[in-house]
Amino acid sequence: MSGAESAVRMTAWVRGHVQGVGFRWWTRARALELGLVGSASNLRDGRVEVNAEGPEESCRALLAALRSGGTPGRVDVVVERWSSPRGGLTGFAER
């Protein structure tokens, strides 16, 4: 199976002390290491929303990293949603 066939979109909402601690930068670095495209954005309610597209295995690795306890700040809970990739993304943005 080629990477294109197994591409997915993973959206994760991360709750905890994750704003103002380098969390989005850290997430971007992990995503780029895994070859993913997407973004990490601060939400008004204090969560960070992570959108990542690429091979399912790489998205699962990013999700595991978000839950690893090795992130900046403090992650209390991560809720994820899986869907089909939208495409058209380049790089990994911090918003």
pTM of the full structure = 0.93
Confidence (pLDDT) at 5: 59
Catalytic residue among 15, 28, 42, 67: 42
Residue among 9, 24, 28, 30 flagged as catalytic = 24
51 a catalytic residue: no
Confirm whether 42 is a catalytic residue: yes
Q: What is the pLDDT along the chain (95 residues), one digit of tens a residue?
A: 444 558 999 999 999 999 999 999 999 999 999 999 999 999 999 999 999 999 999 999 999 999 999 999 999 999 999 999 999 999 999 99
Alpha-carbon gap, residue 41 to 58, rounded angstroms: 19
And the tokens for 7?
Answer: 């591409």
β-strand 7-17 against 48-55: which pairing, if any?
antiparallel
